[in-house]
Amino acid sequence: MNETGYGIFAARMLPKDEPFVQGHRACQGCIPALMLRQITKAIGRDLIVCSATGCMEIISSPYPFNAWGVPWIHVAFENAAAVASGVEEGIEVLRRKGRFYTGRKPAVLALGGDGGTMDIGLQALSGALERGTDFVYVCYDNEAYMNTGIQRSSGTPMGASTSTSPAGRVSTGQVTWKKNLAEIGVAHNIPYVATACPSYPFDLMAKVKKAVEVKGPALLHVFAPCPTGWRCDANSGIKLGRLAVESGLFPLFEVVDGQHKISLDPATMRKSSQDPIGEIAGYLFQQGRFRHLKGRDELIQAIQERVRLEWQKLKAKTER
Amino acid sequence: MKNRIEVGKPVGIEVSIAQSEVVAQCDVDVIAAYPITPQTHIVEHLAEIVADGDLDAAFIPVESEHSAMSACVGSSAVGARTFTATCSQGLALMHEILYIASGLRLPIVMSCVNRALSAPINIWGDQSDIMAERDTGWVQIFTENGQEVVDQTICAFRIAEDRRVMLPVIVNLDGFSMSHVIEPIRFYDTKQVRGFVGVYQPPLRLDPAQPMMFGPVGIPEIYTEAKKANDVALIESRQVIEEVWAAFAREFGNAYRALETYRTDDAEYLLLTVGGMSETASVAIDALREQGVKVGQVKLRLWRPFPHDDLAALLGKARGVFVFDRCLSTAGPGGPVASEVKTSLYNLRERPLVVGFIGGLGGRDVTVQQFADMVHKGIGYVAAGAAPVYEMVGVRE
Ligand SMILES: Cc1ncc(C[n+]2csc(CCOP(=O)(O)OP(=O)(O)O)c2C)c(N)n1
Ligand code: SF4
Ligand SMILES: [Mg+2]
The predicted-structure confidence for A244-284, as pLDDT tens digits, reads as follows 999 999 999 999 999 999 999 887 766 555 455 667 899 99
Q: How far is CA A285 from CA A240, A279, B271, in A?
A: 10, 11, 74
Gyration radius (Cα) of chain A, Å: 19
Assess contact for A207 and A213: CB atoms under 8 A: no
- Please calculate the CA angle B290-B295-B300 and round it to the nearest 5 degrees: 125
A6 pLDDT higher than 70:
no
Assess contact for B78 and B91: CB atoms under 8 A: no
The per-residue DSSP string of B235-301 comes to HHHHHHHHHHHHHHHHHHS----SEEEES-TT-SEEEEE-STTHHHHHHHHHHHHHTT--EEEEEE-
Mutation site for A-interface testing, chosen from B62, B108, B206, B212 by largest number of A Cβ within 10 Å: B206
- How big is the A-B interface in CB pairs under 8 Å? 169
Contact call for B78 and A61, based on CB within 8 A: no
**Enclosing H/E stretch for B113:** strand B109-114
Assess contact for A61 and A74: CB atoms under 8 A: yes
B26 pLDDT higher than 80:
yes
Which residue out of A24, A53, A152, A221 has the highest number of ligand 1 atoms within 8 Å of its CB and is therefore the one to mutate? A53
Task: State in Å: Cα A71 to ligand 3 middle.
Answer: 23
Q: Is A54 in the pocket of ligand 1 (CB under 6 A)?
A: yes
The predicted-structure confidence for A40-87, as pLDDT tens digits, reads as follows 999 999 999 999 999 999 999 999 999 999 999 999 999 999 999 999
Go through chain B and tell me how many residues it has.
397
Taking the CA atoms of residue A178, residue A34, residue A220 and residue A239 in that order, the dihedral angle to the nearest 10 degrees is -50
Assess contact for B40 and B65: CB atoms under 8 A: no
Question: Which of B30, B211, B219 has its CB closest to that of A68?
Answer: B211
So what's the pLDDT on residue A4? 47
In chain B, residues with a C-beta closer than 8 Å to the C-beta of A75 are 70, 73-74, 97, 100, 104, 215
So what's the pLDDT on residue A279? 75
Using a cut of 0.95, tell me whether the model's pTM lies above it.
yes
Examine the predicted complex and report whether its ipTM is higher than 0.95. yes
Residue type, A197: C
- The torsion angles phi and psi of B64, rounded to 5 degrees, stand at -170, 165
Assess contact for B354 and B342: CB atoms under 8 A: yes
The predicted-structure confidence for A188-200, as pLDDT tens digits, reads as follows 999 999 999 999 9
Strand partners, B140: B170, B304
DSSP state of A293: G
Sketch out chain B's domains with CATH numbers: 11-252 (3.40.50.970), 259-392 (3.40.50.920)
Q: Whose CA is nearest to atom 8 of ligand 2?
A: A30
Question: Which of B64, B70, B79 has its CB closest to that of A100?
Answer: B79
Q: Give every CB contact of residue A263 below 8 A, 6+ residues apart in sequence.
A: A4, A194, A195, A200, A203, A207, A252, A253, A254
Residue type, B212: M
Q: What percent of chain B has pLDDT over 90?
A: 99
Query: CA–CA separation, B26 vs B259, rounded Å?
Result: 26
Pairing, β A253-256 against β A259-262: antiparallel
Neighbours of B286 (CB within 10 A): 13
Q: Which residue of A has its CA nearest to B226?
A: A63
Indicate the CATH number for domain A11-318.
3.40.50.970
Ligand nearest to the CA of A32: 2
Strand partners, B111: B85, B171
Query: CA–CA separation, B337 vs B335, rounded Å?
Result: 6
Assess contact for B291 and B299: CB atoms under 8 A: no
